[in-house]
């Protein structure tokens, strides 16, 4: 029998769809799943693609079905299961075979797995895949990390299955070892911020303006035709217009307001902190999900404190225009932060991450795909080493145009008691970033007062302690 070009383990939501995509693009694929019934069902449902698929019940049969050197995608639950699966697979592999973890791995696990295999003759690729079920089936965005040689072995098949933005494939080799999974993690961190900001705007429209779900859907639909055009705005419109088949109410109105999370947002924040980069909008989004999950406490607190009355804005049309611009301004802040974290990590891990290419492969296929990312691609292509997206000429102009709206919206929400942590964080980030003389001089003085930590002087005079002597003595 003709051998497969590639193998895939894990026929869950992502693995099954990715396998069909691979098969459809003319690549013969061998598949295996821990639970064999899943493999059987997958094959039975594969229809006319069956001829391109070799379903396998054992790992031995699976490995023997793939042409060496074998690229094997592992698309299973992230974490320990990946280590377990790799251990089970290893005895059947030979020199040059490539294990590709395509799940949402923590890049530090990817670095460890990469190192562990270094002298084994086997190779490891850490690959971020975004686009959900639909993307996996018809074209995801793919972020690859590993050796350039192993990338060459899989480049053709990955290019064939990736999304295309005006014909350009949304897949790239981004650097060694953990580069691909790091970039996917930050993609998800930005995704968290983007989703949180949209949800905050939804909250203003629902609880401030008293609009119904379908009316809010209409607004998002209009915005999707403008500068906010993006997959997340597009699906928000669809979600808001959907009706619950059980109650007949708008679907969103019967969904519990507690957001789940699997880890990538939290890792983005942890790594931002590790790199010393302020990613305040992403932090606010993760904290927003945490607070959302404390539903019982929130319900009790509402009983205790009540809710402030939100005032209706006088000019509805002007307010809606402000909301649209506010979302754009805040979005710029969140993306600027995500890219700044990647720039810092690139230096720390010697990855040489290509910012214009990252923006390029996010323009289609992935969850944060948008018109906006094409503009980011242009900005980074013109100036790949710029310290912050906000200061590129195109984005500086956009910020100047929209920051007033963000300020008005955050003020309105604050006065109305409507929570907007991500929008407000993005605004404060901008205000702190563009202020030449901040307030940390006082923090430095305090640190010197209680801990003799010293400070630098603006006049350059070589005297690095204040006239407060011992803090304790002065207090006494």
Ligand X SMILES: NC(=O)C1=CN([C@@H]2O[C@H](COP(=O)(O)OP(=O)(O)OC[C@H]3O[C@@H](n4cnc5c(N)ncnc54)[C@H](OP(=O)(O)O)[C@@H]3O)[C@@H](O)[C@H]2O)C=CC1
Active site residues: 184, 191
Phi, psi (5° rounding) for residue 128? -85, 135
- Alpha helices (runs of H) in 142-244, residue ranges in sequence order: 148-161, 179-203, 213-224, 231-241
* Helices 421-433 and 179-203, packing angle to 10 deg: 110
To ligand X, the closest distance from the beta carbon of 116 in angstroms equals: 18
Binding span for ligand X by CB under 6 A among 77-85, 165-173, 241-249, 298-306: 77-85
Is residue 84 near ligand X by the rule CB under 6 A? Answer: yes
- 33 contacts ligand X (rule: CB under 6 A): yes
Q: Which of 25, 40, 67, 77 binds ligand X (CB under 6 A)?
A: 77
Helix 179-203 vs helix 231-241: crossing angle, to nearest 10: 40
Question: Can you say whether residue 83 is alpha, beta or left, with left for phi > 0 and alpha for psi between -120 and 50 degrees?
Answer: alpha
145 forms part of the interface with ligand X (CB under 6 A): no
Q: Which stretch binds ligand 5RP (CB under 6 A): 57-65, 172-180, 261-269, 421-429?
A: 261-269
Q: Among residues 83, 183, 208, 77, which one has the least CA distance to residue 130?
A: 183
Number of residues forming the site for ligand 5RP (CB under 6 A): 11
Of the two residues 10 and 250, which places its CB atom closer to ligand X in the complex?
10
Nearer to ligand X, 131 or 250 (CB): 131
Minimal distance in Å, beta carbon 141 to ligand X?
10
Q: Phi first, then psi: what are they for 289, rounded to 5°?
A: -70, -40
Binding of ligand X at residue 76 (CB under 6 A)? yes
Is 6 within 8 Å of 159 (Cβ atoms)?
no
Count of CA atoms in the C-beta half-sphere (13 A) of 212? 8
**In whole angstroms, how close is the CB of 434 to ligand X at the nearest point?**
35
Which pair of structure tokens corresponds to residue 293?
Answer: 């999950």
Please provide residue 320's backbone torsions phi and psi, each rounded to the nearest 5 degrees.
Answer: -65, -40
Question: Secondary structure of the chain: what % helix, strand, coil (to 5)?
Answer: 60, 10, 30
Q: How far is the CB of 7 from ligand X (least distance, A)?
A: 14
Residue span 241-260 as binding mask against ligand 5RP, x where in contact by CB under 6 A, dash where not: -------------------x
- Read off the tokens for 114: 């990469």
10 binds ligand X (CB under 6 A): yes
Interface with ligand X: number of residues (CB under 6 A): 23
Under rule CB under 6 A, residue 103 binds ligand X: yes
> Does residue 162 belong to the site contacting ligand X (CB under 6 A)?
no
Query: ω before 69 within 30° of 0 (cis)?
Result: yes
191 binds, among ligand 5RP, ligand X, none (CB under 5 to 8 A by kind): ligand 5RP
CB 273 within 8 A of CB 183: no
Check residue 235 for interaction with ligand X (CB under 6 A).
Answer: no
Return residues touching ligand 5RP (CB under 6 A): 104, 130, 132, 188, 191, 260-262, 264-265, 367
Q: Residue numbers of the site for ligand X (CB under 6 A)?
A: 10-15, 33-35, 38, 75-78, 81, 84-85, 103-104, 129-130, 132, 262
């Amino acid at each position: 029998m003709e051998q497969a070009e590639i193998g895939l383990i894990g026929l869950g939501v992502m693995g099954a769809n990715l396998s069909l995509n691979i098969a459809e693009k003319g690549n013969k694929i061998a598949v295996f799943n821990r639970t064999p019934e899943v493999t059987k069902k997958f094959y039975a449902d594969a229809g006319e693609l069956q001829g391109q698929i070799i379903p396998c019940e054992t790992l031995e049969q699976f490995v023997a079905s793939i042409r060496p050197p074998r690229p094997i995608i592992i698309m299973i639950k992230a974490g320990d299961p990946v280590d377990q699966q790799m251990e089970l697979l290893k005895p059947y592999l030979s020199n040059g075979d490539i294990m590709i973890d395509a799940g949402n791995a923590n890049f530090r696990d990817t670095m460890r797995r990469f190192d562990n295999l270094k002298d084994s003759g086997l190779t490891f690729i850490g690959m971020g895949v975004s686009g959900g079920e639909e993307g996996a089936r018809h074209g995801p965005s793919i972020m690859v990390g590993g050796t350039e040689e192993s990338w060459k072995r899989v480049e053709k098949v990955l290019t064939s299955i990736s999304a295309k933005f005006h014909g350009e494939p949304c897949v790239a080799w981004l650097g060694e070892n953990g580069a691909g999974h790091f970039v996917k993690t930050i993609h998800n961190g930005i995704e968290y911020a983007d989703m949180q900001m949209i949800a905050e705007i939804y909250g203003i429209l629902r609880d401030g303006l008293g609009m119904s779900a379908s009316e809010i859907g209409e607004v998002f639909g209009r915005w999707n035709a403008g500068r906010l055009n993006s997959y997340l705005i597009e699906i928000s419109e669809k979600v808001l217009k959907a009706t619950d088949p059980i109650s007949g109410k708008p679907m969103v109105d019967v969904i519990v307001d507690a957001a789940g999370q699997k880890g990538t947002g939290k890792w983005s924040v942890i790594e931002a902190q590790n790199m010393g980069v302020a990613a305040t909008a992403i932090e606010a989004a993760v904290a927003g999900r945490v607070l959302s999950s404390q539903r019982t406490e929130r319900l009790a607190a509402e009983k205790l404190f009540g809710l402030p009355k939100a005032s209706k804005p006088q000019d509805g049309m002007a307010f809606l225009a402000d909301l649209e611009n506010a979302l754009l301004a805040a979005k710029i802040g969140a993306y600027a932060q995500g890219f700044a974290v990647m720039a810092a990590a690139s230096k720390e891990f010697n990855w040489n991450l290509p910012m214009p290419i990252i923006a390029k492969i996010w323009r289609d296929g992935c969850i944060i795909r948008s018109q906006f990312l094409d503009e980011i691609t242009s900005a980074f292509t013109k100036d790949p080493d710029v310290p912050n997206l906000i200061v590129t000429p195109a984005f500086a102009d956009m910020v100047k145009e929209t920051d007033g709206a963000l300020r008005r919206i955050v003020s309105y929400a604050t006065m109305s008691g409507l929570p907007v942590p991500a929008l407000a964080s993005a605004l404060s980030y901008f205000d702190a970033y563009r202020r030449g003389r901040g307030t940390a001089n006082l923090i430095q003085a305090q640190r010197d007062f209680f801990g003799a930590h010293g400070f630098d002087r603006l006049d350059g005079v070589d005297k690095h302690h204040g006239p407060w002597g011992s803090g304790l003595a002065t207090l006494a």
